[in-house]
Amino acid sequence: MIKIKSYKWVLFAVLSAILTFFCVVSGNFFTKKVSLQLGEIAKETLYAPFQVENEIATARKKQEAEAAVQPVYKKDSTVQEKAIGNIETFFDYIHTIQTTDLTEKLEKTPVEVLSGLSPIALYNEQYEALLGANSDTLNQMKNICMEVTSNLFNGGISPEESNKSIEVRMAVESQNLNSTMKKIAEDIMNHVLEPNVVIDEVATNEQKKLAQDKVDPVYVLAQEKIIEKGARVTEEVYRLLEKVGYLETNRSERYQQYIGVLALIILVSVLFYYYIYKVYLTKKEHITIRQKDKRLSLVFILFSLAMLMTRAFLGATFVYLPLSITCMMIAFAMEHQIAFMTQVLIVIFSAIIFKGDIIFILYFLISGIASTLIVTRMQERTRTLMSSLYVGGIQFVLYIALKLLVGSPLSVTVLSEGLVAFIMGMISVVAVIGALPMFEAIFEFVTPMQLLEMTNPNQPILKRLLLEATGTYYHSLLVANLAEAGAASIDANPLLARVGGYYHDIGKLTCSNYFKENQGSTNPHDYMTPKESYEIIVSHVTSGLKLAEEYHLPNYIKDFIMQHHGTGLMQYFYVKAQKESDEPISEKAFSYPGPRPQTKEAALVMLADVVEATTRAMQDKLGKEIQIEDVVRRSVKQKLEEGQLDECQLYISDMEKIIESFTKMLNGMYHQRIAYPERNEKK
């Protein structure tokens, strides 16, 4: 179980949960309520809190589009077939009556027989005239009737133009018939002609549906007026007010919603704490409790700022929201997993506040993850412009793609909003990189960019070290190389270990000639008491802290300065004091003040420091009397037995990896060289 001695982050977590609750209940999901009924007069002007469809207006436009559709007609071939068949049958009956004894068998007159059988109704005088006509005349009439009828049917006869008497008269007028036969032919055709073009119900309905589908929905935009003060509430307005949630219905339902939001926040908070506990608190052992507390506080502070920012942008287009700032900052301070998880929570509650749709959710989830992966790979702040262009480009393409996905046309509005997304992506990156130094100082987290800046030889304190304590400068470089190699072999930060190696001995600037690496042939300690020597040597720790304050160095460098000797014994002067004194000497009187290394990186700098110094002091014996690995192993073992590594989360399995990496590095530094023979010059 992880013992958290500081609970500031818990306070920030509670405050962020409370703030989230009030941001959610004051957002678009929980809009203000008014008491209005149909036909009442509005007491105030009401505006739409978000874009909403006016369903009644949309339905009205669809009805208008449907009414404008012309009917689709089709020909009914059976009408023509029936008409032609009746004409043929009619003339066949006339021919039968004229050539057979049918009338005698039926004991009726020819006119009575024809009128009883005929499918075409004519006057008796007309029947009589036809029965008295010769076969040539009848055939001519039959052909005329069938031809004219077929032509008229082929042209189509609609219900609106079913009277074709004029066309029939004009067609018969030019025929070689007497006036009586022409009139009979007209009557025959007018009798059989009827509409053969009818409305195609299926095709007409399809056209109406297509016309309705082409109608764009009518929207009331965010902040657009729904009803003005003093206006009467119509059904259309009432439906809009109901849809945006302005109408007061049942107050108990609102309280139920409050309870639901509160329960959701509590549930998510518990799950988030469990996730942080598993992923961060229990696994990041090299980070001190104070640092964990500050960084967790940063998470909830940034989360709260994201909620306030979402609430402040309510009513604007969501592309103006720079929500990815939070996850980028958290990724720098902690881990990508924590950043992604936080982004998911921010998107969930922001979507509730904004009453966002699927585009809102996908846009911020994908853009947040993408921007985090791009920006946190930056090693130098000079890459800010390029990274901001990448993030802006991704947000532009993402927004356009999501709009096209939901069927929006590629209009000028969509492109302009995509441009806003591009600009906001660039602004987010610049804001994060610009704010990082302040957050690094306040919340004590380290970024690769800051570490790389600290390794720059042009840092003022490093330039001073090179000029005023050259031996210490090169000793620090070797320690940095060893510590970095050791950190790379275990679960530690190599770049942080290198920085610690560079700065751990800056306190020697105040008394550089009292340290062996900076001395010439004279050693001032030969003329001093052991206690005086101890006081001067141990002062490089306190002096280093003062210099760190003077040069505004980060706290993690101060930790390296304080911890790189731990509470170790200054053995040389302790033994010297024992020899010069008859009284027993306390080890504490000749020990460093500490504390012991609290992180793996600080422990690596301690081990690299003692190993480098010991190896350099014994370099004349290396390879002859002793191996480098023996020196490294003995030095590490000594610090382990002294208990200097008890508080830094280094494991026994790590020790062997550290010894191996130190040995490999030192073998490269102190390898044997070939002795070149002197050259004899011939005269």
Domain range summary for the chain, segments of one domain joined by +: 8-24+251-445, 73-199, 450-669
Note the pLDDT of residue 486: 94
pLDDT at 277 over 80: no
Note the pLDDT of residue 225: 85
| β-sheet bridge partners, residue 197 | 75
Note the pLDDT of residue 427: 94
Q: Which letter does DSSP use for residue 416 in this model? A: H
How far lies 86's CA from each of 145, 190, 212, 344, 345, in Å?
Answer: 11, 12, 44, 80, 82
Rounded Cα distance, 660 and 654, in Å: 10
Q: What is the pLDDT of residues 209-257, one digit of tens each?
A: 888 888 888 888 877 888 888 888 888 888 887 777 667 665 566 678 7
Q: What is the pLDDT of residues 108-157, one digit of tens each?
A: 888 888 888 889 988 889 888 888 889 888 898 889 999 988 888 888 88
- Determine which helix (DSSP H) or strand (DSSP E) holds 197, and give its type and residue range: strand 197-199
Q: What is the chain's mean pLDDT, rounded? A: 86
Long-range contacts of range 347-351, CB-CB < 8 Å, 24 or more positions apart?
A: 347/323, 348/268, 349/20, 349/23, 349/24, 349/265, 349/307, 349/310, 350/306, 350/307, 350/310, 350/321, 350/323
Q: What is the pLDDT of residues 352-401, one digit of tens each?
A: 888 788 899 999 999 999 999 888 877 677 788 898 999 999 999 999 99
How far lies 621's CA from each of 180, 610, 625, in Å?
Answer: 147, 17, 5
Note the pLDDT of residue 672: 57
Closest residue by Cα to residue 658 from 640, 641, 633, 630: 633
Backbone φ and ψ for 247, nearest 5 degrees, come out as -80, 130
Rounded Cα distance, 356 and 347, in Å: 9
How far lies 324's CA from each of 211, 314, 347, 441, in Å?
Answer: 43, 17, 10, 22
Rounded Cα distance, 63 and 261, in Å: 41
- Determine which helix (DSSP H) or strand (DSSP E) holds 606, and give its type and residue range: helix 600-617
State whether CATH 2.60.120 applies to domain 450-669: no
pLDDT at 527 over 90: no
Rounded Cα distance, 134 and 115, in Å: 19
**CA geometry: angle 314, 427, 370, nearest 5 deg:** 90
Rounded Cα distance, 582 and 584, in Å: 7
Contact 605, 483 (CB under 8 A): yes
pTM exceeding 0.75: no
For the segment 570-586, the average pLDDT, to the nearest whole number, is 86
User: CATH for 8-24+251-445?
Assistant: 1.10.1760
User: Tokens in use for 296?
Assistant: 């967790």
Q: What is the pLDDT of residues 392-443, one digit of tens each?
A: 999 999 999 998 988 888 888 899 999 999 999 999 999 998 888 888 888 8
Note the pLDDT of residue 354: 85
For the segment 15-32, the average pLDDT, to the nearest whole number, is 81
**CA geometry: angle 566, 572, 578, nearest 5 deg:** 110
Contact 234, 41 (CB under 8 A): no
- Determine which helix (DSSP H) or strand (DSSP E) holds 225, and give its type and residue range: strand 225-227
Note the pLDDT of residue 174: 82
**CA geometry: angle 461, 462, 468, nearest 5 deg:** 85
